[in-house]
Structure 1
Amino acid sequence: MKRFRLAAPLAAAVVALLPGTATADVTYPDPQPITGQQIIHDPTVIHLKSGGYVAYSTGGIIGARTSKDRVRWDDAGNAFAEPPSWWYEYNGTGDPWAPDISYRAGRYWLYYAVSSWGTNHSAIGVATSPTGLPGTWTDHGKAFTSETTDSWNAIDPAVIQADGRLWMSFGSYWTGIRMVELDPRTGEAVQDAPVHHLATRPDAPYAVEGPYIVKHGRYYYLFASYDACCQGVNSTYKIRVARATSVTGPYTDSTGKPLLEGGGDLLLAGHGRFVGTGGESIFKDRGRDVLAYHYYDAEDAGTPKLGLNPLSWKRDGWPVVL
């Protein structure tokens, strides 16, 4: 789960940039209405080749939801019939967080994290499936790890292909968002590959996590969740975005401020009953981009629920939530 990771502790209506940061005064759109099983955390969604949709999420297991129309969602159990034994090296309950699903080379690929609160003794695992559906996944073990001697945290993975190479962004608190190259054959990190630094904040505890990168036009866009999740109606999660001409950065916001210096345009924040919007991912549906995220429902005791909104692109290339 995209969590507080340190031991110590759209239509846009009016844009009013504050000095030194790309914060906007906006009217945020509500998520599209959905029915069925709405409870979810850190959703990753894909439109399956066979038709329909599947979403995977955090929550004690890698929970699965399926839908035929992207409106009604049904509980579909767990990605895995049983937790792989190596998960217990990282927490006592075999609890995975923040999955990421993608399709390439004729297979579906599922990345996910295993860790525990307050430590960066963490690992990102990888599994494959011929269909993408729960119960069909074969786990292949660790793709990348971090230890307490590292200055990053190997959780919240998201994979992107760029210029014929495969990359994985990841990170939560510590020094923020990082990136490493993957071997496309195994899906694991290239041995001794450099770990690139994409985003951080100047203020401790460096509350940025959950990256997701997409390409639009000539730019790569890095979306990330800022501030605190997992506190129900007290959550302050929000989604910011920046862009770069190279997948490894440097990423800057619309004012030119680097993400490595605390920049980032505010894309979506809590409003009304929809508190703590974050844990985002993006998927293609019939040629259009869709933003998936969770929010905490202030009218339902802060229960985390699935948010879905079309993601459009303005003439200047920046994304906007509809």
Structure 2
Amino acid sequence: MCKLPVFRLLLAIICLFAVGSTRAQSDIRVHDPVAIRQGDTYYLFCTGRGISVWSSPDLENWTKQAAVFEHAPDWTQSIVPGFRNHIWAPDISYHDGQYYLYYSISAFGKNTSAIGVATNATLDPESPDFKWQDHGMVIQSIPNRDLWNAIDPNLAVDEEGAAWLSFGSFWGGLKLFKLADNRLQPAQPQEWHTIAKRERDPLEEDDRAGQAALEAPFIFQKNGYYYLFASYDYCCRGAESTYKVKVGRSKDIRGPYLDKDGNRMDQGGGSIVLEGNEQWPGLGHNSIYTFDGQDYFIFHAYDMQDNGRPKLKISTVGWDEDGWPVVDQRGLVTR
């Protein structure tokens, strides 16, 4: 049997995912995408080995960049022994001349987790100033101590300019705490709030996620409100995924966040923004941004026409007469 075609196939696969390769948005496999623009270039960060990075001039054509971390930060081994640098759910923001990249490390299915942060003066890898500086752990969750999970960070800024970090997955729901002025650790004295949660059986063991499937908070300021987007039900199961996005809003970043019917998200509320269909059975872990006056909803969805693989989706967002988000779903219709 000739092995040359197999070799060529493997080479093609390697090239497809190699640094410097360019792909259309519809072909990019991602989990948990977030984005930011520097100059004329958009940068996308997502779950992956060392944190995956893509760049684009137009939100359509994306070029693979080198990962943020070639090797797992040393501190991660004390949190998750044997951690292999597969870093989850980053969040990117800019403040006072620095880009702040929050990221998650975790043992799958446990709240043996932590959120770290790294900074960089530029996102352009060709710049002489390009260098990621890791600042280590911001916060940690420990089984049998904490009924929350320190993953899925998102930074938001209130009207007074104070920075807050929301985070959470399963367990006791989504949390919010105030950051210190340097944005590298919690403010002192600490200030914490629960912003969303679902019912959970109190008899379940504390070191397991249980059935309270809720994660990935993202807070977006618009129309005089803070909008809290969150992903409900199950990701990461390909064709069996049931992920969906819900929203609530508040005049105060600390909450309470109310849905369209006035139900509190910290008491099980939340109004549907997006949910799956036959082609895209699960979708979520969204971020939302304004670029040139247009709001964009960025998320991943599982594609039934490609064996349930997670794909990058970017949709425009409008707002109804009552100020609630309406996401363009034309990219989710059957092809």
Q: TM-score range by the shorter chain?
A: 0.7 to 0.9
2:61 alignment counterpart: 72
The CA deviation at 1:192 is: 4.4
1:278 alignment counterpart: 284
Greater Cα radius of gyration, structure 1 or 2: 2
The amino acid of 1:38's aligned partner reads: I
The CA deviation at 1:83 is: 2.0
Question: Which of residues 159, 178, 182 is equivalent to 2:179?
Answer: 182
The CA deviation at 1:133 is: 4.3
Map 1:237-248 → 2, pairs under 5 A: 237-248=243-254
The amino acid of 2:156's aligned partner reads: I
Map 1:41-120 → 2, pairs under 5 A: 41-48=31-38, 50-91=39-80, 92=82, 93-120=84-111
Alignment deviations for residues 284-311 of structure 1 (CA, whole Å, 9 cap, x no partner): 2112221110011110111111010011
Higher RCO, 1 vs 2 (CA within 8 Å, ≥6 residues apart)? 1
The CA deviation at 1:106 is: 1.4
Residues 301 and 310, structure 2, Cα contact 8 Å, conserved in 1: yes
The amino acid of 1:117's aligned partner reads: F
Question: Aligned equivalents of 1:119 and 1:232: distance in 2?
Answer: 21
Q: Is the alpha carbon distance of 1:185 and 1:35 closer, same or farther for their aligned partners in structure 2, counting shifts above 3 Å?
A: closer
Question: Aligned equivalents of 1:35 and 1:191: distance in 2?
Answer: 42
Structure 1, unmatched stretches of 5+, are 1-32
Question: Aligned equivalents of 1:272 and 1:286: distance in 2?
Answer: 33
The CA deviation at 1:59 is: 2.3
Residues 45 and 56, structure 1, Cα contact 8 Å, conserved in 2: yes
The CA deviation at 1:202 is: 1.9
Determine which structure has the larger helix proportion and give its number: 2
2:190 alignment counterpart: 193
1:18 alignment counterpart: none
Question: Aligned equivalents of 1:186 and 1:229: distance in 2?
Answer: 29
1:160 matched to 2:156? The reply is yes
Range that drifts further, 132-141 or 59-68: 132-141
The amino acid of 2:55's aligned partner reads: T
The CA deviation at 1:74 is: 1.6
2:313 alignment counterpart: 307
Question: Aligned equivalents of 2:279 and 2:109: distance in 1?
Answer: 29
SS in 2 for 1:308: strand
Question: Aligned equivalents of 1:184 and 1:282: distance in 2?
Answer: 24
The CA deviation at 1:57 is: 0.6
Residues 199 and 262, structure 1, Cα contact 8 Å, conserved in 2: yes
Aligned residue pair count:
289
Q: Is the alpha carbon distance of 1:125 and 1:193 closer, same or farther for their aligned partners in structure 2, counting shifts above 3 Å?
A: same
Residues 87 and 95, structure 1, Cα contact 8 Å, conserved in 2: no
1:151 matched to 2:143? The reply is no
Residues 36 and 72, structure 1, Cα contact 8 Å, conserved in 2: no
The CA deviation at 1:100 is: 0.3
The CA deviation at 1:235 is: 0.4
1:256 alignment counterpart: 262
1:139 alignment counterpart: 134
Question: Aligned equivalents of 1:174 and 1:203: distance in 2?
Answer: 7
Alignment deviations for residues 77-111 of structure 1 (CA, whole Å, 9 cap, x no partner): 20223321112223321321100001111111100
Residues 47 and 90, structure 2, Cα contact 8 Å, conserved in 1: yes
Range that drifts further, 165-174 or 72-81: 72-81
Residues 90 and 116, structure 1, Cα contact 8 Å, conserved in 2: no
Alignment deviations for residues 257-308 of structure 1 (CA, whole Å, 9 cap, x no partner): 1112211010001124223111111122112221110011110111111010
2:118 alignment counterpart: 127
Question: Aligned equivalents of 1:85 and 1:133: distance in 2?
Answer: 25
2:324 alignment counterpart: 318
Q: Percent identity?
A: 40
What RMSD over aligned residues (CA atoms) do the two structures have, in Å?
Answer: 1.7
Question: Aligned equivalents of 2:304 and 2:254: distance in 1?
Answer: 37
SS in 1 for 2:75: helix
Residues 30 and 300, structure 2, Cα contact 8 Å, conserved in 1: yes
The amino acid of 2:187's aligned partner reads: V
